[in-house]
Structure 1
Amino acid sequence: MSRETYEGRDVLTGRPVRVAVRAGVIDEVALLDTSDGLPWLSHGLVDLQVNGFGGTDVNAADLTVDDVGRLARSLAAQGTSHWVPTIVTQSHERVAHALSVLADAVASDPVVAASVPCAHIEGPFISPLDGPRGAHDRDLVREIDVDEVRRWQELFPIGYLTVSPHGEDAPAKISALRRLGVAVAIGHTHATAEQVAAASVAGATLSTHLGNGVRAELPRHPNLLWEQIADPTLSAGLIADGHHLPAAVLESVVRAKGPQGCYLVSDSVALAGSPAGRYTTPVGGDVVLSDDGRLALADDDRLLAGSAVSLAHCVRFAATRTQLALPDVFAMATRVPGRLLAELAGSGGVGRIEPGAQAHLVLWDTDLASLKVVGPAGGTIDA
């Protein structure tokens, strides 16, 4: 059985290491004497919010097993080793179809099985109001239905569900969802600070793309953003594409909550990687993709319709456009979401380079462009 080795500077520690891999599993991690000329080395990126990428949409009505496999390989080529498919506000049947296809893809494709541990349902239990609702279809927004989630959970594991906790019965329903084994995120909401606090006490543990999916204007204080930023029990997802959050806001939230309380997400959609132009999509309808990668609704460019970049792009933005330390940026794209996956789906060892773990590795140059991607199921990809 062959043994491959990869050398680089561990981006979380700065130490030069040699990682030995046998049969897709890390066999040994050894310290080297020098780091001269070595690229950066990280675990594969872990993206907890992916709607699509490279022309494939998780929310497409005609989604197939082959589509999911193609999506998994496209993301792997970008350095994303683990990802959580995000199904947005749809009819019960459309959500069920997507979950069934994901289940079949995991069962039949080893690359998908190695990279997709669970799903994220973003809606339909969100705010019906313009602004907080974002690009979600108003006609399909509805109140939290625990029984509906239970039926979805029977098809494929739901790692977490994004809800708006603005209703009086939201805390009780959040508690019921937690008893199902589904984690709850707060997002796309017009809830008050007090309602956010009640949701946290009831068991919500995440904030979906914090700073987005809210009213364009908020009271100075109190408001739902301050409440989530201050709450140490809520881990904050942050879209670091340069459009959803200005660099100063991104940096401020990370410094307030600490890197261990934040995780970077791409929130990428099928148009990620496409040329600028006007498009029609399953979610949001007519959208406009600008030359700078900003994706917005055609009839209201104040409202974004997901992002058009990979998580690797988000890492580069956070590393070069903020004063956040490089180890912290990579931790928020590997170790922190890996830890959360252990809680959401029982996926141990994700985000860590250590003996016995699956060999998901990425080598990066000094500009943080990927040089080589290593995966136990997907083989080795040279950039």
Structure 2
Amino acid sequence: MTAPLMSDRQGRYIDLQVNGYQGVDFNSDQLTAESLHQACEHLAADGIAGILATIITDDIERMASRLSRLATLRAADPFSQSVIWGFHVEGPFILPEPGYVGTHPASAVRPANVDAMQRLLDAAEGLVRIVTLAPEQDADMAVTRMLAAQGICVAAGHCNPSLDELDAAIDAGLTMFTHLGNGCPLELPRHDNIIQRVLSRADQLWISFIADGVHVPWPALGNYLKVTGLKRAIVVTDAISAAGLGPGKYQLGDQSVVVDEQGATWSADRSHLAGSSATMPQLESNLRREIGLTNEEVSRLMFHNPRSALR
């Protein structure tokens, strides 16, 4: 079983998906102890109790190297340990098809494999708390079962499983869906699509949303929350190094990302979104203003539910 990693440091928010923050890219091969500490200071100043530092799809050895670097730098800094509760591994076992693959490099996407997954877990030194994969890429749900047996939260995302495949994954230990409404094409079949399938299983899954108004329009987010109910929904930023910094050019691993005047984070060719520039305080303001949530409801989505999902 994965040992508890949560600290008792105070904060208003728990963010389960943070790729970087305030100019620091957690997917950088040049990440330093100083830059990691600075990112954690900014996160704490914005009211963060804890995050999962997120590593996205790349070659397995490069992902392992980045996880190892994060683990080593975190271990050397007690303050970083108090902010970074663990890691979220997003990929590489996702769907490589356009739209579903999102900003992940399709060339590095691969079917789920127990040995490759173990390589990543070993590199992370026991700090992996969530793995996002595509159930249809996991033959016989072998990796899902392996992770669930170790107490690691298995999330579906960047995927398009049939309802039968989704149910099989849930039976094998899948407990979450990553940023519903994203990691899928702009155009989908009207009725039988991944969003509708996941919503039909909302009573069995934690479902996360990026509540920035860019990734999911407000009317859609309001409708989704009515279906999921607030007991099972989680708000994440999916923040990249641009978080809190405004328009400009930034990095996410090997990729260049452009943040526009509305705060949307685009790939260099403007073909798809690439993470988010939002902060948790901004998302809280959005939820109050656009969805009309109360203090208690905001706290459930941004603190209590993500904390419960990690137990």
- CA gap 1:67/1:178 in 2 versus in 1, 3 angstroms: same
1:85-96 aligned within 5 A: 85-96=53-64
Q: Does 1:84 align with 2:52?
A: yes
- CA gap 1:77/1:124 in 2 versus in 1, 3 angstroms: same
Q: Does 1:242 align with 2:199?
A: no
Distance 1:275 1:87 in 2: 22
CA contact (8 A) 1:229 1:257 kept: yes
| 1:202 counterpart residue number | 172
Q: Does 1:336 align with 2:305?
A: yes
Query: What displacement does 1:136 show?
Result: 0.6
Query: What displacement does 1:107 show?
Result: 2.1
Select 2:197's aligned residue among 206, 221, 227.
Answer: 227
Query: What displacement does 1:283 show?
Result: 4.1
Query: What displacement does 1:223 show?
Result: 2.4
* AA in 1 matched with 2:187: E
| 1:47 counterpart residue number | 15
Identity among equivalent positions (%) equals: 32
| 2:276 counterpart residue number | 307
Q: Deviations over 1:213-249 (max 9, x none)?
A: 0122222223221221121121011101110011111
Query: What displacement does 1:80 show?
Result: 1.0
Query: What displacement does 1:298 show?
Result: 2.9
Q: Deviations over 1:331-361 (max 9, x none)?
A: 11011111122x2xxxxxxxxxxxxxxxxxx
* AA in 1 matched with 2:107: D
- CA gap 1:274/1:170 in 2 versus in 1, 3 angstroms: farther
Distance 1:191 1:55 in 2: 35
| 1:370 counterpart residue number | none
Distance 2:180 2:230 in 1: 14
CA contact (8 A) 2:263 2:278 kept: yes
- CA gap 1:25/1:191 in 2 versus in 1, 3 angstroms: closer
Distance 1:134 1:263 in 2: 20
* AA in 1 matched with 2:128: I
- CA gap 1:282/1:294 in 2 versus in 1, 3 angstroms: closer
Select 2:234's aligned residue among 260, 263, 282.
Answer: 263
- CA gap 1:288/1:95 in 2 versus in 1, 3 angstroms: same
Q: Deviations over 1:348-381 (max 9, x none)?
A: xxxxxxxxxxxxxxxxxxxxxxxxxxxxxxxxxx
* AA in 2 matched with 1:330: S
CA contact (8 A) 1:128 1:141 kept: yes
Query: What displacement does 1:65 show?
Result: 2.4
Distance 1:119 1:242 in 2: 26
Q: Which runs of 5+ in 2 are unaligned?
A: 1-6
1:121-136 aligned within 5 A: 121-136=89-104
Structure with greater strand share of residues: 1
CA contact (8 A) 1:207 1:236 kept: yes
Q: TM-score, normalised by structure 2?
A: 0.91
Select 2:36's aligned residue among 62, 68, 72.
Answer: 68
| 1:376 counterpart residue number | none
- SS of equivalent to 1:82: strand
| 1:173 counterpart residue number | 143
Aligned length: 302
Distance 2:285 2:159 in 1: 29
- CA gap 1:335/1:314 in 2 versus in 1, 3 angstroms: same
* AA in 1 matched with 2:210: I
260-269 vs 285-294, which moves further = 285-294
- Report which of the two structures shows the higher radius of gyration computed on alpha carbons: 1
Q: Deviations over 1:156-206 (max 9, x none)?
A: 321011001124715233112222332210001122233222211221101
- SS of equivalent to 2:107: helix
| 1:147 counterpart residue number | 115
Q: CA RMSD in A?
A: 2.0
Distance 2:82 2:138 in 1: 40
- CA gap 1:168/1:56 in 2 versus in 1, 3 angstroms: closer
| 2:222 counterpart residue number | 251
Distance 1:298 1:138 in 2: 16
Q: Which runs of 5+ in 1 are unaligned?
A: 1-23, 27-41, 344-383
